[in-house]
Amino acid sequence: MLIYGAGAIGRGFMPWVFPPSEFLYYFVEINPHIRQLLNHRKKFQTLKTVGGAYETRGVVAEYCYAPDEDCTITPAVDVVVLAVGPRNVLSLSENLKNITVPIICAENDASVPKLVTSMTRNKNAVFAIPDVITSNTAPPEILTHDPLTTVSEDGVCYIDERVSYLGGNATYVSSETLEKEWKAKLYLHNTPHCIAAYLGSFVGALYIHEAMQFPKVRAVVAGSMNEMRAMLLKHFQLDEQFVNWYAEKELKRFSNALLCDPVSRVAREPFRKLAPNERLIGAAELCLGSGIIPEHIMIGIMAAFYYNNSGDNDSNIQYLVRALEPKDFLKVVMQLGENEALGNLLCDRWNGNLATITNMK
């Protein structure tokens, strides 16, 4: 198995999906520090939260390549996994062009498999939905023994049934089931999860579970969950029992202190999360189209506008939002014109929502 991206999903979750006893693990990783650690230590551990405790799985890292290294020297692999982040997939076109084995796209973006197929002509590029929270770090006392340790939930990985012959512990499902699970993941997990992160940055929380301990943060996250639940029932006609179960599951997992899930990991790249068909702007637009005023989601959107992390790839958002008048920022940067309902609502509530997020404590 060759995994592009030795981060939370690639290093932390995939070993629970494809057991190291059955698969050899090779990585391609852009971060030189992680790459050097993997090649020096040759092994790492990933933890899984089970019943309020950790279960440990050791993994041998056969080799970790730099992106510009020739991976063709790797012994024949049965499957390639992409876990580099949707923005980075295009940069892999040269690396993937001669790949004929299945390519599992665990990229939190349903459009990636089609993109990969167009890049490679590999018809076995399939979508995977890791229904899990996996941190890219671990408690400090554990990291002192193994700095490569990550923590994952006891989650499920849904993968297109076309590659079910790969085996492992994945749940292989039809395209219809994948579509249902993706809608739930995008709107009942991704939307409230990133809102918790953006609000968490305003209360000084390091981890998501810490953010959820603030009553005002939790109230907005729960409110956004209810807006998403109503939208899914009305717009997509998903099964109510399934939607309610999924929403309750998500609120519980956001508060799991064992995960040590960093706010910075979940909040990263706000522009991507604010894209028209994504979890914030896109979700709010769907709410409006369903007759639902997304008051709590709009608070989350405002928090994303003002997310202040100089180390983030999208750190320029904070300069743009402060340099422009609200209506100009919405029109020029967010592409929300004066005649669009969401743009008008965001503009009308600008000062009130800004006051709300700056007083989250």
Say whether both 149 and 252 belong to one domain. no
Single residue among 140, 155, 173 that ends a domain in this structure: 173
Say whether both 151 and 255 belong to one domain. no
Q: Mind listing the pLDDT tens digit for each residue in 257-277? A: 999 999 999 999 999 999 999
**Per-position DSSP letters for 7-50, written without gaps between them:** SIIIIIIHHHHS-TTT--EEEE-S-HHHHHHHHHH-EEEEEEEE
Say whether both 266 and 156 belong to one domain. no
Single residue among 155, 173, 191 that ends a domain in this structure: 173
Residue 62 pLDDT > 70: yes
Say whether both 199 and 119 belong to one domain. no
Say whether both 139 and 31 belong to one domain. yes
Cα separation of 209 and 22, whole Å?
A: 34
Question: What is this structure's pTM?
Answer: 0.95
Single residue among 173, 195, 213 that ends a domain in this structure: 173
Say whether both 165 and 239 belong to one domain. no
Q: What is the DSSP secondary structure assignment for residue 310, as one 8-state letter?
A: T
Q: Which domain holds residue 81?
A: 2-173
pLDDT for 73 equals 60
Cα separation of 179 and 52, whole Å?
A: 31
Q: Mind listing the pLDDT tens digit for each residue in 118-176? A: 999 999 999 999 999 999 999 999 999 999 999 999 999 999 999 999 999 999 999 99
Q: Could you tell me the CA-to-CA distances from 53 to 19, 48, 101, 210, 260 in Å, in that order?
A: 20, 8, 37, 18, 13
Helix (H) or strand (E) holding 127: strand 125-131
Say whether both 268 and 190 belong to one domain. yes
**214: closest CA among 152, 279, 263?**
263
* Residue 70: band (very low, low, confident or very high) from pLDDT cuts 50, 70, 90: confident
Total count of domains within the chain: 2
pLDDT for 97 equals 87
Say whether both 167 and 185 belong to one domain. no
* Residue 338: band (very low, low, confident or very high) from pLDDT cuts 50, 70, 90: confident
pLDDT for 160 equals 98
Q: Mind listing the pLDDT tens digit for each residue in 230-264? A: 999 999 999 999 999 999 999 999 999 999 999 99
Q: What number of helices (H) and strands (E) belong to the chain?
A: 18, 10
In the chain, the amino acid numbered 105 is C
In the chain, the amino acid numbered 317 is I
Say whether both 239 and 338 belong to one domain. yes
Domain CATH number, residue 57: 3.40.50.720
Say whether both 130 and 193 belong to one domain. no
Say whether both 50 and 91 belong to one domain. yes
Cα separation of 70 and 243, whole Å?
A: 45
Domain CATH number, residue 182: 1.10.1040.10
Say whether both 286 and 340 belong to one domain. yes
Q: What is the DSSP secondary structure assignment for residue 75, as one 8-state letter?
A: P
pLDDT for 72 equals 65
pLDDT for 19 equals 97
